Amino acid sequence: MGGDKDKACGDKDKAWIEFYKKAHDDKIFFAEKAWESIKFHILLASSLISITVGALIAMHTSRDFLQLYNHTRAIFTLFLIILPFTMVLILQIGLKNFKRECKRMYEQSAILMKLERRFGFDQKRTEEEKKEVFFEEDTYNPRRYYEKRWNLTSSFINDMLSCCKENLYCIMNRIFKIFIVISIGLMVLIIGVALYHCFWNLGI
């Protein structure tokens, strides 16, 4: 009987360890997906910015463009505005996808934190261990792990997604927004240049 009980306990411990490994692998997976989303959308946005700026310079300096009728220039300008407008839409979609991946990543982080608590990873370090390295830290995890308690996993995720945090989502979220602002600025600039040439031709 005792052997069967020990075997059952061993199988249960093995199942918990496998669960921990799965949660850890899932966290890495979603983190990698988040990084892929960042790289893809920032590269695409950078390319569209370069194309738009190049077209804007050509529009402003090309004699052929300046000699066109106003309505023809207006049509070309409209097509040019589509580029930064499309970029804004792509970045907004990318930001939503990035947020979704980060939510999944922080969800797995919450699972890992619960499991680490179960395994006793938050227990105090011995005095002998503290003598060797990091002698002012009482726990194995950094102190920030214990600075705040959350009542729900959703509360932890929302806290991680708040803009005041210095983590992956909050920092990269600002980069997405910077590119969105640049895109809107390009739209305004294109309209401004088009209006300038329109009034300049009219002699106003």
Tell me if 130 is assigned to some domain: no
Tell me if 65 is assigned to some domain: yes
- Asked if residues 152 and 106 have their Cβ atoms less than 8 Å apart, the reply is no
**Which residue in this structure is represented by tokens 């919450």?**
110
102 pLDDT band, cuts 50/70/90, is very high
Per-residue pLDDT at 28: 95
Q: Which residues contact 152 (CB under 8 A, 6 or more apart)?
A: none
| pLDDT tops 60 at residue 4 | no
pLDDT tens per residue, range 115-162: 888 887 777 777 777 777 777 777 777 777 766 778 888 888 888 888
Structural domain including 36 reads 2-122+140-202
Q: Which residues contact 94 (CB under 8 A, 6 or more apart)?
A: 37, 40, 41, 176
pLDDT tens per residue, range 13-42: 788 889 999 999 999 999 999 999 999 998
When divided into structural domains, the chain yields a total of 1
Tell me if 129 is assigned to some domain: no
Query: Is residue 29 classed exposed, middle or buried when 0-12, 13-18 and 19+ CB atoms within 10 A define those classes?
Result: middle
Per-residue pLDDT at 34: 93
Per-residue pLDDT at 204: 45
Tell me if 187 is assigned to some domain: yes
Per-residue pLDDT at 151: 85
Q: Which residues contact 177 (CB under 8 A, 6 or more apart)?
A: 95
Instruction: Look at 66 and 37; give whichever has higher pLDDT.
Output: 37
Please write down the HEC assignment for all residues of 134-179: CCCCCECCCHHHHCCCCCCHHHHHHHHCCCCCCCHHHHHHHHHHHH
Instruction: Look at 91 and 9; give whichever has higher pLDDT.
Output: 91
Instruction: Look at 115 and 78; give whichever has higher pLDDT.
Output: 115
* The overall pTM is greater than 0.75: yes
Tell me if 135 is assigned to some domain: no
Tell me if 134 is assigned to some domain: no
Tell me if 128 is assigned to some domain: no
Tell me if 127 is assigned to some domain: no
